[in-house]
Amino acid sequence: MAKAGPFSRAIVAMTGVMPRWFVRYISRRYVAGASLDDAVRVMHRLTEQGACFTVDVLGEEITTLDEATFFLEEYRRVMAQILAHGFDANLSIKPTAFGLLIDHETGLENIRRLVKEAAEHDMFVRLDMEDHRVTDATIDAVHTLHAEGLTNVGTVLQGRLHRTLDDIDRMSEQLGPAADHRICKGIYLEPDSIAHTARKAITEATVACVVRGLERGAYVAIASHDDAVIDASLTALKDGGWTNEEGHDPRDPSPPHRQGKGPGYEFQMLLGVRGPLRRGLREQGHRTRVYIPYGEKWYEYSIRRLKENPTVGAQVAKAFLMPWTNRP
């Protein structure tokens, strides 16, 4: 496992005794709020900065299939609000929130319904990647839906996993230019038998995945706040012939044009993280997308992210104690 410093570990150890109001105070920077109205307000504000969005209803692995109904209905409400306000936005969903680990076929059918409804509005759906128990099932769901003609769906691939370069190759072979990946380092701390655990190795592997995705002709969402990953991605784009002025994908064939998508790539960042960097990329002509999480599970989400990856603790403390270093 990647090791966190003593300060980060101390922050995580305190989570059990932190007052709920304090956790909410910290998390309000990173979570839009408890309701869809909160998410709408945040999107209105960030639209003025030229950002586009992917919206996530907080909550994931459910215990009964009845719980999946809530997520399906809530995402329908999200779609309605996106359309009503004209937001440049798509959807991010957790496959386990739709029941994929309880009953694969029922979970897949729930996902299929949402993706099909989104397709009617030319809206993209991203299947978030969870821990290694669901990696194959998530990728298989994308393949199945594409085979059925529902190509407005893609997944997240985690740079830290040893398998990811092979996954990019396989998905590119099966899906062709319709392959669409969000490449990130990955928040889940997996064992070293299946994942890189050292910071440098994770960074290098993530860069390699971004480059491989671009080389294989996929649409690549570069989801990182790491300067090393972003700088290497910008270099790969320049070397590959992308130009901000023309705004076109130089590859042939290139990914199919989709509403709200960039010329074969975009940069993605979490709400409240490295706003100046995001705005700088936007000013340079790059499409930038903000991940907007909201929901009643804001507390569980905030605590879980700390416990799953203790290195986040120092980042949270810095944002709290020195907010001027990370203006949203």
Q: pLDDT value at position 281?
A: 94
pLDDT for 280 equals 94
Give residue 22's pLDDT: 61
Beta partners for 221?
A: 182, 266
Close Cβ partners of 104 (under 8 Å, ≥ 6 residues apart): 137
Q: Which residues of the chain fall short of a pLDDT of 70?
A: 1-28, 244-247, 297-328
The string of DSSP codes covering 62-109 is -SSTHHHHHHHHHHHHHHHHHHHHT--EEEEE-GGGGTTTT-HHHHHH
Predicted confidence at residue 1, as pLDDT, reads 39
Looking at the chain, the whole-number percentage of residues with pLDDT higher than 70 is 80
| pLDDT computed for residue 112 by the predictor | 98
Domains (range + CATH), the chain:
32-294 (3.20.20.220)
Q: Which two tokens stand for residue 121?
A: 């509005």
What is the structure's pLDDT at 187? 79
* Helices and strands per DSSP (H, E), number in the chain: 12, 8
pLDDT of residue 135: 95
Assessment of whether the complete model's pTM goes beyond 0.85: yes
